[in-house]
Amino acid sequence: MTKEVSEETQQPQAPDDRKLWDVFLGLYGYSAVLLAHKLGVFSLLEHGGLSLPAICEKLDVKPRPAEAMLTAAAALGFLSIKEGNYSLTPMAECYLLKKSPSYFGYMWDLMIENEQVHSFRSLEKAIRTDAPQVYGGSGIYQPEEVQAELIRRFARSMYSMSITSAFHWPEVLDLSANRIMLDIGGSSGAHSIGAVSRWPDLRAIIFDFPMVCQIAQDFIAQHGMQDRIATCGGDMWSDPLPAADLHFYSTVYNDWAFDKCSFLTAKSFNSLPSGGRIIIHGMLYNEDKTGPFAAAAFSMLMMGWTEGRSYSSAELFAMLADAGFHDIQVKPAFGYNSIITGLKP
């Protein structure tokens, strides 16, 4: 009898539960690194490693919370610990110091400034209402109403998240035959900067709202590209597109619903000359939309910020084909990003 009861009540073999903990605890890794960024941990360690007591003294924090924060940053690969001293890893030196050309911190600043958009309540409302929650639910694309400083911070964050990949994808394609790249919704112009740096016969035009173009000119000047990159203020939905033989969109399609992306694709096809090229750059779902996690999480990010989502390569392939493009290709780019490109017959 005892044996029978034991067999009946025996639990089946449970799947490994670490994925559950990764979801639950991931929130705290994100918070720890952003807090370290905001408190100045990474800039503090720019010139060398420091002990926990020294960090606590300089940042005016207590040892217990400081150690928890620093350990999380180390576990995520941003800090190393040797002989009791915390130091920056190569990844942190590349992405988390302002002096670095690949500085990612402005993107984290945007996340901190808009923390309410990423709250559970805000995302729940975004899911239930199918409406963005940023800036009081009014969205980010309101050039006349949003203050210039707000746009400047947003463009700076776009530069921060784009500049590294902007110097990679131009290596993936042969653009030697192209002469003018139209960077549609180009924001900071990071991708124009990367493209013309790689291809000496290429010039670029950043096409965005006039206030955004003014900000982009600062980034262009930082790279000394004033003679090769111009800006053109306009609305991609209603204004004619400037003449170009290459149309480029980065993280633009992620911002809009499928029908609006189809509109942009058709508009580019009609505007491009024969032999002209379209390039769409961003994170893509796999074909059955089971991931990857980065593209899926980016879709959740878009719930709070825009009316868009991530797309699969199959969806964008069909969109380009329906518009009339041929020789459509999908290629991996930097990190989680890919490009999909097609030619106009």
pLDDT in 10s for each residue of the chain, 345 residues: 455 555 556 667 889 999 999 999 999 999 999 999 999 999 999 999 999 999 999 999 999 999 999 999 999 999 999 999 999 999 999 999 999 999 999 999 999 998 888 889 999 999 999 888 876 555 555 555 556 778 888 899 999 999 999 999 999 999 999 999 999 999 999 999 999 999 999 999 999 999 999 999 999 999 999 999 999 999 999 999 999 999 999 999 999 999 999 999 999 999 999 999 999 999 999 999 999 999 999 999 999 889 999 999 999 999 999 999 999 999 999 999 999 999 999
C-alpha distance from residue 91 to each of 42, 156, 172, 190, 275 (Å): 11, 20, 23, 20, 40
**What pLDDT, on a 0 to 100 scale, did the predictor assign at position 1?**
47
Say which CATH topology domain 18-98 has. Arc Repressor Mutant, subunit A (1.10.10)
For 39, the token pair is 């408190």
Count Cβ neighbours within 10 Å for each residue of 102-130 and write b for 16 or more, e otherwise. ebbbbbbbbeeebeebbeeebbebbeeee
Q: What is the pLDDT of residue 150?
A: 80
Q: Structure pTM?
A: 0.91
Statement: 112-343 belongs to CATH 3.30.70.260: no
Pairwise CA distance, residues 236 & 245, whole Å: 16
The SS3 assignment for 189 reads: coil
- What residue spans in the chain does CATH classification 3.40.50.150 cover? 112-343
Is there a contact between 103 and 96 (Cβ–Cβ < 8 Å)? yes
Res 8: pLDDT: 55
- Listed in order, the ranges of the chain carrying CATH 1.10.10.10 are 18-98
Q: What is the pLDDT of residue 231?
A: 98
